[in-house]
Copies of this chain bind each other. A is one copy, B any other.
Amino acid sequence: MQREGVDAALIIYHRDLLYYAGTAQPCNFLVPAQGEPALFVRRAMAMVKEETWVKRLYDTPSLKPVAELLSEICPAGGKLGVEEDVLPASLYKRIQQTFSKFELVNISPAILKQRAVKEEKEQVKLKETASIFAEAHRAIMENMKPGITEIELAAEVYRNVRRGGAEFINYHRRWDNTSTHEGLIAGSSTSWKISGLAMTVTGVGTGPSMPWGASPEKIRRGDLLVLDIGINYQGYHVDMARTYVAGQASDLQKERFQVIKTIMEEVMAQALPGVTAGSLFSVAAKKAEELGAWEYFQGWGDMKGYYIGHGIGLELDDPPALTKGNEELISAGMCLCIEPKLIVPEWGAIDIEDTVIIKDEGPEILTPVPLHLFEV
């Protein structure tokens, strides 16, 4: 906190509360740079008491006592860190008024930087989450056949994943993200159509209200099917993708799968502590060019994405973004998703994604399903 130059932080967002206070119940958490943190519980004190390590607890939904305590700690005012990327403007303005002696500064980048490197016990949880992907894979292997719709497959995937223990919700820090929690499930007729969500294989969904994710389109013999799914278990997310063929793969499908698999292997070989996030995209882009696949790599036309993955943890899409030019350094303990894909208009998509933990000796792949083009 001193490195960030703030006198205190006010944590309200439930994922950050979970990380710092051990509870996702509605709370206002005041963390002074000096002195004891205080948790102001807005609701469900009995449950909070069972969950949190914080000793100094107050039972009130109001911001006023928080401001009063902070005034005692910092009588001259100062700088107060708040989560500007997620707090709605109306609440932010209320905080400004209530903590009028304090200048508000954005503490979210510092929070996310700290969250990016996973402790040992977090790595254990990430591995537990990843194991559930086997259930999603099984749902496709057991149910995919010509004539089934994307939505019907999505229903089976969800059922398996939920029975496997996953929580229902994947979290995103982006306020306007509305992606499907059951994963993106898209066949050849939809997987090349890129909808507006900040992703590239999106599916087309069910209409204007939900224009991504599974659609009512049927899988046809010979179709490719992409399963790209985020899974959350005990608060920790993984994100994984595999591509399937309904029946026997064609030579072109096999060839394009091999291109993407080669790019994946190339990135994995370079995913080491000390490289920049952007360099992983460069490695992938260079290999795509070498293989003559640049035109369709990570999308096509003006919907192409200049990225090869992202961090992950308490939210599905955390820093660092593995985007072109990003100078952030990769370090040991980071959990990253690597997701090369080919998206070919009128043809379909090959999409594979693995979640890894960065180690000194190279990435440890968590995905429990082999990297094949599965013929179902």
Contacts and interface: CB of A to CB of B under 8 A. Distances in A.
Contacts of A213: 168
Interface stretch (A86-94, A278-286, A368-376): A86-94
Q: Is the interface of A mostly helix, strand, loop or mixed?
A: loop
Given A155-B163, A168-B181, A176 B47 contact: no
Query: Among A42, A196, A206, which residue has the most Cβ atoms of chain B within 10 A?
Result: A196
Contacts of A206: 165, 167, 234
Interface stretch (A23-31, A243-251, A252-260, A325-333): A23-31
Interface stretch (A11-19, A115-123, A351-359): A11-19
A101 to B, nearest CB: 19
Interface residues of A, number: 67
Given A88-B85, A168-B182, A234 B211 contact: no
A125 to B, nearest CB: 9
Interface of A: 12-14, 18, 22-26, 42-44, 47-48, 51, 82, 84-93, 106, 151-152, 154-156, 158-160, 162-163, 165, 167-169, 171, 175-176, 178, 180-182, 193-198, 205-211, 213, 216, 232, 234-235, 303
Most buried by B among A152, A168, A197, A210: A168
